[in-house]
Chains A and B, each alone.
Chain A
Amino acid sequence: MENTLNMYLFTAFMLFATGLLGAMFKRNLIVIFMGVEMMLCGAMLAFAAFASAYGDLSGGVFAFFILTIAAAEVAVGLAIITQLFKIENTVSTKDLNTLGD
């Protein structure tokens, strides 16, 4: 396998791009959130790929931190989403536009 790093980086980029497209163009808050998670995952994969290619542990430790941040972020975000659903009875960004009016 010659192009290992490039192949992993391509996968990481595509994961990030998918997450970004989801976060930008989907209407549902849960799917937007899953997009953000996928972006974090792509970044983590890139960190791990570079760490593995260069034999340096720092990238691995940063990937570990990304996992921590993602877990904390999911807890807070989903709490906000459920609370929002309790108040507005919807999670679609089409209907949650009171700040934009």
Chain B
Amino acid sequence: MNEIIFYIFCGMCLGGALGVLMLPNYVNATMSMLVSMLGVAGLLLLLHAYFLALVMVTVYAGAVLVLFVFVAMLIGDEKDSSGWIKKCALLAVWLALGAAVAKFSPEIVSAAPARAASDAVPVLAVAKNYGLSLFTDFMLPLQTAGALLLAAITVVITIAKPNPMKRQKKEELQ
């Protein structure tokens, strides 16, 4: 049963990703990426990383994809002009990569130590663990990420603000 669910989510994930490569309309491509992200969230659920799956759905499907749809609609219905030869070539490369990796990749699973007893709560499942870890071992990365987010907000505001010099010039011309 678990395996079937894995294959469903895996198919969603890879099919959606392939849709982004292949679909000519950008809004459709964005929706296809949404399917892919939901597939990744499902895979995270199967890994018992419930918190990460939740954050994935809220941040990616809730915020990032909405931004993508917004920009795709703002920019209008520019169609992807690449011909079917390029698409077929991309698909061939994609399939060849997948086949090669599936055939030649080494078995890593044997190197992994045995899992903890199955009745124990998985360490990735509890949000409290993340909080404890973030505010003890990963304090510096956390602060750096905060600084990065602040910088990103500042940059976005600076970019989005209309240039006052330019506006003055326009008014002078009028």
Contacts and interface: CB of A to CB of B under 8 A. Distances in A.
Interface in B81-108: 81-82, 86, 90, 93-94, 97-98, 101-102, 105, 107-108
Contact of B74 (A9, A11, A26, A82): A82
Interface residues of A, number: 68
A contacts with B: majority SS? helix
B8 interface: no
A78 interface: yes
B160 A83 contact: yes
A35 B29 CA distance: 11
B133 interface: yes
Contacts, number: 207
B contacts with A: majority SS? helix
Contacts of A53: 109, 112, 115
A1 interface: yes
Nearest to A22: B21
A45 to B, nearest CB: 6
B36 A57 contact: no
Contact of B156 (A6, A69, A79): A79
B111 to A, nearest CB: 9
Given A22-B21, A75-B152, A91 B105 contact: no
Given A11-B14, A41-B36, A73-B152, 14 more contacts: A4-B109, A7-B10, A15-B40, A26-B80, A31-B26, A31-B29, A45-B43, A48-B47, A56-B123, A57-B123, A61-B130, A65-B141, A78-B71, A79-B156
Interface of B: 2-3, 6, 10, 13-14, 17-18, 20-21, 26, 29-30, 33, 36-37, 40, 43-44, 47-49, 51-52, 55-56, 59-60, 63-64, 67-68, 71-72, 74-75, 78, 80-82, 86, 90, 93-94, 97-98, 101-102, 105, 107-109, 112-113, 115-116, 122-124, 129-130, 133-134, 137-138, 141, 145, 148-149, 152-153, 155-156, 159-160
